[in-house]
């Protein structure tokens, strides 16, 4: 029932977000049509941060309770977070190509976002190379907790020439979002958040089912 509700909510919110982005929201006077990527770039960044926060919290709970459910939750959330961080880097590069005439620059937020991507990539490298479940969960929890330190660094790493909030050349945030632009952003954030919750719910259920099947097979051997 919960999964079905999340699927329905995700579908409805995403449909509304896409309609607003491509049919209703006005084109930004300064940046033109490329600015519409903003309504995807910001929400996927939010979801990535949310996913890593869940990994952070679940990692702490695992270290306290040593219950593998929390390790599973942390892992699945980190997996989604890594995917969405990849989308952040891709959409950010597309935006940069239009505004800075280059696919990549070592601007503060881009650099710290790339560091974040590598941190959580190492999270899964550790999980892949440690066979013992308890040790794997313990080491992964530590990486997930320590790695989260980079999230606030990314959030506040804005220089004056960037496109990001706080940059003096960012006409969107310098002048403020208009009514429909703000509504579109909010709907997009809710849409991608619902999508994250749906993915997390489904992937966690699959992992729990896999663990139960393994336990049944081990008990019969």
Cα separations in angstroms, 164 against 18, 83, 114, 149, 150: 22, 21, 15, 20, 17
How many domains does the chain fold into?
1
Percent with pLDDT over 90 in the chain:
59
In a domain, 188, yes or no: no
Q: In angstroms, rounded to a whole number, what is the distance separating the alpha carbons of residues 145 and 197?
A: 20
In a domain, 219, yes or no: no
In a domain, 207, yes or no: no
172 neighbors 164 (Cβ within 8 angstroms): no
**Segment among 14-28, 71-85, 90-104, 127-141 with least mean pLDDT:** 90-104
What's the rounded mean pLDDT across residues 3-13? 92
Q: Which residues contact 96 (CB under 8 A, 6 or more apart)?
A: 102, 103, 104, 105, 107, 110, 163
In a domain, 25, yes or no: no
Confidence band, pLDDT 50/70/90 cuts, at residue 173: very low
Q: Interior CA angle at 57 toward 192 and 212, to 5°?
A: 85
144 neighbors 79 (Cβ within 8 angstroms): no
User: Rg of the Cα trace of the chain?
Assistant: 19
In a domain, 11, yes or no: no
Coil, strand or helix: which one is 67?
Answer: coil
- Helix 68-99 to helix 108-129 angle, to the nearest 10 degrees? 150
- Whether the predicted pLDDT of 146 surpasses 90: yes
Please state, rounded to an integer, the average pLDDT across all residues of the chain: 87
Coil, strand or helix: which one is 193?
Answer: helix
The region that residue 59 occupies, defined by phi over 0 for left and psi between -120 and 50 for alpha, beta otherwise, is alpha
Kindly report the pTM of this predicted structure. Answer: 0.87
In a domain, 127, yes or no: yes
In a domain, 57, yes or no: yes
- Whether the predicted pLDDT of 186 surpasses 60: yes
Domain that residue 49 falls in: 35-177
In a domain, 121, yes or no: yes
- Whether the predicted pLDDT of 14 surpasses 80: yes
């Amino acid at each position: 029932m919960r999964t079905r509700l999340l699927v329905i909510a995700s579908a409805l919110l995403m449909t509304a977000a896409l309609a607003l982005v491509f049919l209703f929201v006005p084109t930004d006077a300064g940046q033109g049509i490329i600015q519409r990527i903003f309504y995807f770039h910001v929400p996927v960044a939010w979801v990535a941060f949310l996913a890593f926060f869940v990994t952070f919290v679940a990692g702490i709970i695992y270290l306290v309770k040593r219950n593998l459910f929390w390790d599973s939750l942390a892992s699945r959330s980190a997996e989604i977070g890594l995917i969405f961080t990849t989308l952040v880097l891709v959409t950010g590069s597309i935006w940069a190509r239009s505004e800075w005439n280059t696919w990549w620059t070592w601007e503060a937020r881009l650099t710290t976002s790339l560091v974040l991507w590598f941190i959580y990539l190492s999270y899964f490298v550790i999980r892949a190379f440690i066979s013992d479940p308890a040790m794997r969960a313990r080491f992964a929890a530590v990486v997930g907790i320590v790695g989260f330190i980079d999230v606030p660094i990314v959030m506040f790493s804005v220089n004056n020439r960037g496109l990001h909030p706080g940059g003096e050349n960012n006409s969107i945030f310098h002048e403020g979002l208009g009514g429909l632009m703000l509504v579109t952003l909010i709907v997009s954030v809710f849409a991608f958040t619902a999508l994250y919750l749906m993915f997390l719910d489904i992937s966690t259920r699959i992992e729990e089912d896999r663990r139960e099947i393994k336990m049944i097979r081990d008990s019969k051997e």
